[in-house]
Amino acid sequence: MIRGGDRRVAYRVRDRTSEEPAILPRPLRLPLAAVAAALAAAVLAAWPAARAGARDAPAAAAPSCPTTAGAVDVTRATVPELRAALDAGTVTSRRLVETYLARIEALNRRGPGLHAVIAVAPDALAQADAADAARAAGAPQGPLAGIPVLLKDNLDTADLPTTAGAKAMLGPPPPADATITARLRAAGAVILGKANMSEWATSISPRAGLSFSDVGGRLRNPYDGGDTSGSSNGSAIAAAASLAALTIGTETQGSIVLPSFINSAVGIKPTMGLVSRGGVIPLVPAFDQPGPIARSVTDAALLLSLITGVDPRDPATRAQRGHVPAGGYERFLRRGALRGARIGVPPALARDPMGRVVGQRRIVSALRRLGATIVPIRGRLWVGTAPLEAIHGQFKRAVNRYLRERGPTSPRRSLADVVAYNRRHGREAVRYGQAFLVEAQAAGRRAQRTAGRRLARYAARARRAVERAMDRHRLDAILAPRLVAAVTATSGGLPHVTVPAGYAGRTPYGIVLVGRAWSEPRLIGYAYDFEQATRAWRSPAELNPAFAAACPAG
């Protein structure tokens, strides 16, 4: 999330991790069981974040970092291709899970030290075996039967702790799955484990930067070893490095678009209300929205279809009625979708690297070849940052509610308890301090009471800025700089899709397309057309020698 206020910006997203501290945390250990009373006392010593998968689920015997499972290349296969191989019997779910676990072991702590996975499920192989047995018995199969998925570690899982990367949150698992988790299980997915993330979704300390959590360690870009950006960075890294077939992220202001852009992944930030936030640790509910992160537009569209739906746990989802296409978003994966589309390009924001479209000339040329009309936008879409006092007020109120609703399984009862825990344990709990948490805890009753109204006004202003530009120029979508998508579009509750577009040396960049509310079908079609025509994505093993040494391309 990009934090700011009417008077200042608390910190700016960095483009290189060389500007951040490079100290790695000591390895921690993964819980082997979730017996609440015992785990609460022992969990800190029992959680191996950086070595997820080494002990709890044995990896394939050889090779040490496989690129294939059976005849399937897991670094390039789409989920429909994996599903076809499973149905044909050319690979088993167990073999798939073993393959991903072996890649996690080789790349997460070893090799390039990605630190993208914070924990693996102790029963991952048991889940896979159950899927294989059901398939062999001819039982009805869900669309993700036996397919491994990683969840960002702010989504509740009833069988794994949910920490948001914070040691203060280590403890028993939540009492129930998040709505997204439950829907994925119902679709047959193997919940492989949790993806690392920027601690508290970047709301811990400016000194920690955007690539660190005290539980999971410092995340690294799989391509250049540098910036990972945005709090869903573990999910984006895992998608690009093929540590799972699918991943889930969440966005508040940039936490899907930014890590997808810089880690060469596909990210969909949905319209506010399309995907439930039930059972997700909140940051700023006025802006929070979960979404898919995957290696391909095909997989991201399929995943979006499976996680949408009205949910009583999240009243905002009532707004999606009448806007979800029958038959899912896969229907809109169409070559030629860009033909005749009017795509707006706003002016760059001065002196801010995130305020321009990276590779604009090449991207615009590709869009024109695909039949799109490029329309320069008059006027800027930047609306400034949200009032910091309101962000702190809503964060405090929402986190307190989440911790209360966790009940006896909650490791802390309030944000005040979190801050107090961190103070007691010092650098062992928060290596780089907790300045943002302290600021949020200081938010008074008035700030909490008025936060919703103030942020709603800001969101409406952001939405109007995009919609007016689209109306004025008769646009179908906007080719947006990262900053416009992360702040203006996201704050306005509007959707955007990020797709790999190329590499500046070894550093990835993407194309970001923003649209009106509920325009996911159109954006997915445009993104797929661009992806299929440009074939820009490359494996990290092709660009990063450290990655290739640990896991050569197949």
What are the catalytic residues? 152, 231, 255
Handedness of CA 400, 402, 407, 409 (dihedral sign): negative
Integer Cα distance of 277 and 180 in angstroms: 8
Residue 250 tokens, joined: 């969440």
Six-digit token pair at 167? 């040691």
Extract the tokens encoding 273: 């209300």
- DSSP β-bridge partners for residue 344: 375, 478
| H or E element at residue 411 | none
Q: In degrees rounded to 5, what are phi and psi of residue 486?
A: -65, -35
For the record, the structure tokens of 548 come out as 């290739």
List, in sequence order, the alpha helices (H) in 26-112: 36-42, 79-88, 93-104
307 near 300, Cβ under 8 Å? no
- Cβ–Cβ under 8 Å, residues 246 and 77: no
Rg (CA), the chain: 22
Task: In whole angstroms, give the CA distance from residue 92 to residue 127.
Answer: 12
Confirm if 526 and 513 have CB atoms less than 8 A apart: yes
**How many residues belong to the chain?**
554
Strands (E), 104-185: 117-120, 148-152
Name the residue among 114, 99, 110, 92 with its Cα closest to residue 63: 99
Q: Which residues contact 124 (CB under 8 A, 6 or more apart)?
A: 56, 57, 97, 101, 148, 190, 191, 192, 193
